[in-house]
Structures are given as structure tokens and as C-alpha cells.
Chain A
């Protein structure tokens, strides 16, 4: 089966611009997570979807970040307007709890805000 895919792999934008990241989870995985890793530090939780519903968005930094998962398939994470501190690698992970709780990660999107 196809793994978790993320697009784009890299994005360089100017401060104040908008960027939208996309994640396609493994088919059939209801649980989708967004994480961010900054400067090689911890993998910080951003939010968790179960199907199309936001279960927990307590990790979202502020209202400049908007995540959606229409139809419970792919998800988007939009940053508008981007700030310098938003730079980092954004990972998406999907899990199918009915089988096990192993999280499958995408390759990540490296976002650089200049």
C-alpha cells in the first residue's frame, strides 16, 4: 500500500505570505496527526483529526494556522500570514487504531520563512 505522502517537500516563502501544506494519509487510516520539528528539537504535536473531525488542536501555535480534512481523506495545513518562527519541518502521520497504534510518517515538508 502507498505510504503517507506530503507535498511540497520544501517551501521557501517570504514573511507575510501564505503557504498550504498537504498530507495524504494511508487509505483507511482514520487518525491523522500534524507535527512540527524545529531546528532538530522535539517533535511537537500540532493537532489530531479523526476522520474529518478535529479531535485535539491544542498544539496549534496561534490562529495563523488552519488545518482542514474535508471528507476525512487528505488534510491541509495553511499558514497565513507566515512568520519567521514558523520555519521548521512539518510532519504528517496516520494511524489505524483498529489494527495497532503504529504511526506512519510522511517525508515531511521543510518550510523556510525568510
Chain B
């Protein structure tokens, strides 16, 4: 079935260091989304990427969609303790069902 892999599963950084999580799909995606889930919270939408090679920025967060539309990355510059949480990519697999499938997630811990 459809599966979206993310690496790493866990990342521990010192506050101020950068962080990157990578998302890979075995099939070409029509678009990809990123969500953040704080500890004890629920997933919250961050952004959607649609175009091949697209790059979008939100303050210290940079999102990229691969040229082949099979991979994506999220980069956080100069992490802060408020960045703590699990970051998920998610992809809609189209056809008859338009099923939203989540990646395996990357848990980010930031040490002050």
C-alpha cells in the first residue's frame, strides 16, 4: 500500500542549531503537506507544496518539494524550544479515494 517514510525518527538538538527532516514516497505525489503535533496536542497544518521543485518559507521554516515530486524536506533554522514536537509530512493519494496518508513522523527535541 501507500507509504511515506520520514527520516530521522528522532532528532535531539541544542537550541540554536538547525534541523532537517526528510520525507520520501515510492510513488509520484500530486502534492505534499506538512503538519506539526506538539506533545499532547493534535496535528496542525503548516503548509502545502504542489509544484515540482517548489520552495516555501515560513519565518525560520523552509519547505521543499523534490523535482520528481517523490520527496520533500522541512528545514528549521536556529531551533527554539517552541519548535519541539513531531513533524509529519502527508500526501494525498488520488484516484478514487483521495486518501490522506501521513509519514512516519520525526520527533524533534530541543535542549535549551
Residue positions of A touching B, CB distance < 8 A = 31, 33, 35, 40-45, 48, 55-56, 58, 91, 93, 95, 97, 100-108
Given known contacts A42-B105, A101-B33, A102-B48, A31 and B42 CB-to-CB distance under 8 angstroms:
no
| A100 to B31 Cα, complex, angstroms | 11
Which residues 79-112 of B sit at the A interface, judged by CB distance below 8 A?
A: 86, 88, 90, 92, 96-105, 107
Which residues 47-74 of B sit at the A interface, judged by CB distance below 8 A?
A: 48
**A-B residue pairs in contact (CB < 8 Å), sample of 18:** A42-B105, A43-B88, A45-B102, A48-B97, A48-B99, A55-B96, A55-B98, A56-B97, A91-B42, A97-B98, A101-B31, A101-B33, A101-B48, A101-B92, A102-B48, A103-B33, A103-B35, A105-B43
| A103 to B43 Cα, complex, angstroms | 9
| A40 to B38 Cα, complex, angstroms | 11
A42 touches B103 (CB 8 A): yes
Residues of A within 8 A of B33 (CB): 101-103
B5 to A, closest residue via Cβ: A42
B44 to A, closest residue via Cβ: A105
Which 4 pairs show the lowest CB-CB distances between chains A and B?
Answer: A43-B102, A56-B97, A105-B42, A102-B45
**Binary flags per residue of B1-33, CB closer than 8 Å to A gives 1, else 0:** 100000000000000000000000000000101
Count residues on chain B whose CB falls below 8 Å from chain A CBs.
25
Residues of A within 8 A of B101 (CB): 45
A4 to B, closest residue via Cβ: B42
| A100 to B49 Cα, complex, angstroms | 12
Residues of A within 8 A of B99 (CB): 45, 48, 55-56
